[in-house]
Amino acid sequence: MKTQGRIELGVAARSLEEGLESGDRPVVIHHENGSIVGAVDGLGHGTAAAAAAVAAIETLMSHAGLSLPHLFGFCHERLKETRGAAMSLAEIDRPGRMMTWLAVGNVMGVLFRCQDTDAAPRHLVMRGGTVGARLPNLAVSTFPVERGDTLILATDGVRGGFADMVDLAHGPSALSREILDRQATGEDDALVVVARFTGESL
């Protein structure tokens, strides 16, 4: 599935129990200067976790275009009324071909370089804390991105070793489903978001 020519996106999700709402939700927001791709994991599972994730996404959409630290700050204030969430966001700066990354809590991020397939993927830094309860120092990381680079986000319902089994020959939709099918723990809600930069608007 393509989104406005900037990224090709794949999303696969699974609730802990069939029929229950998932607290793990994807984020895709486009604004004037780029796009935000992310994953929100409401603490626990079920209705209360889903409410926290939805509140975070609504807040992000209301303030899109602000810096990631500001977005986390607004979400933190909003989620104080909920059980809180872990959250990872990557903002792709269209004019500058840069990706800015910020994560609080256990939502993994791995960046694969298209031009250097022999290099190990970059595991993006997660900072301990909970959006809505305790925010750490909100220092961002910034990386250049090129056409074909692939970002994978996974919540803690997915085993951490998934990056060792990624086949980048697969498209994002197939890749997200493959990771979820092979690596979901079955002990929590699970979400995999795969974003491949097309270069069309980078």
Tell me, what's the pLDDT at 4? 46
Model confidence pLDDT, tens digit, residues 56-101: 999 999 999 899 999 999 999 999 999 999 999 999 876 658 899 9
Structural domains in the chain, CATH included, are 2-197 (3.60.40.10)
Tell me, what's the pLDDT at 202? 43
User: Which position has the higher pLDDT, 183 or 198?
Assistant: 183
Model confidence pLDDT, tens digit, residues 32-62: 878 999 999 999 989 999 999 999 999 999 9
pTM: 0.92
Tell me, what's the pLDDT at 96? 59
Residues 46 and 20 sit within 8 Å (Cβ to Cβ): yes
Tell me, what's the pLDDT at 190? 96
Average pLDDT, the chain: 90
Q: Round to whole Å and give the CA distance between 48 and 51.
A: 5
Residue 5: pLDDT over 60:
no
Residue 2: pLDDT over 80:
no
| Pair of tokens at residue 198 | 């097309």
